[in-house]
Structure 1
């Protein structure tokens, strides 16, 4: 299923592939890739046991996406090991790793959906026209249930940091 006009990118309506993920549902399964001494995988099962913030961005090579990742990274410092936090995009794992090193991102992991877009299709974040992800935030409780979901209506805008962080703290 596709959702025509679900978000806009620079004012232009975009179609999101897949169904919207909603608060209250069990999080869809996924496999992401990251680079840490070699290519590794990250799945929903790896995140269970702790509340999780999933911060979805089109590309870490853009200003708003970099800002989003840096702001969440700063805000999450006080929560330490009690939570999981992952920035998800279609950027290559190597580029994501390089960005985190250069920007001092230490409180978030990165996960790339570059191989088969199983995350972006299952979570309804793939903009069909551009073949990149929209901006979104999800918070999962320790069992993998969605307790917060935000698809940012205009992709070039930042998410509601306060609402996502409040949901994450409530899930802790």
Structure 2
């Protein structure tokens, strides 16, 4: 995996790098403090997974708002999942305050299974590295963007185009 940085300083990513063409790894993640979710819950839909370190930061906020805007245009066969290690009630609070209602927020706070399965767990911070994954309705990875610098924006247009090719 390429070297990742936070404000130019090297960080260590833990887990397995996912590549285009791979079967998307499943994971167990929190929808709320008492309800879990997994990739299989979204079977049959095209999935855009937007990974952010924390919704309460500028780039993560902008990334999630951007994909929320796009979600309405992509149709019912697409689901956009935003995954962070923020606690589920913090995610709900942020979504309510931001007016974000089209993306599904999920939390990897319990055991970081998503972060490890997708190679985005930052060892030093126990946060998730900003990244984008597009998975087709059959569960194959069709687009991957691992950002090299944690504070940079992803390529929104390329991710949306990857989704549009699948619907």
Name which of 89, 93, 117 aligns with 1:122: 117
CA distance in 1, matches of 2:31, 2:64: 16
Name which of 20, 23, 28 aligns with 1:23: 20
> What does residue range 1-172 of structure 1 map to in structure 2 within 5 Å?
6-35=3-32, 39-172=34-167
1:139 Cα offset (Å) = 0.3
RMSD across aligned C-alpha pairs, in angstroms? Answer: 1.2
Contact 1:34 1:94 in 2 (8 A): no
CA distance in 1, matches of 2:67, 2:49: 10
CA distance in 2, matches of 1:127, 1:6: 12
CA distance in 1, matches of 2:130, 2:38: 20
Number of corresponding residues: 167
**Structure 1 stretches of 4+ moved >2 Å:** none
SS in 2 for 1:81: coil
1:42 Cα offset (Å) = 1.2
CA distance in 2, matches of 1:39, 1:77: 28
CA distance in 2, matches of 1:96, 1:43: 17
Contact 1:51 1:140 in 2 (8 A): yes
CA distance in 1, matches of 2:92, 2:3: 30
Deviations 1:105-149 (A, max 9, x none): 111001100001111011100111121111000000001110001
Gaps of 5+ in 1: none
1:92 Cα offset (Å) = 0.2
Give the TM-score normalised by structure 2. Answer: 0.96
Gaps of 5+ in 2: none
Give the TM-score normalised by structure 1. Answer: 0.93
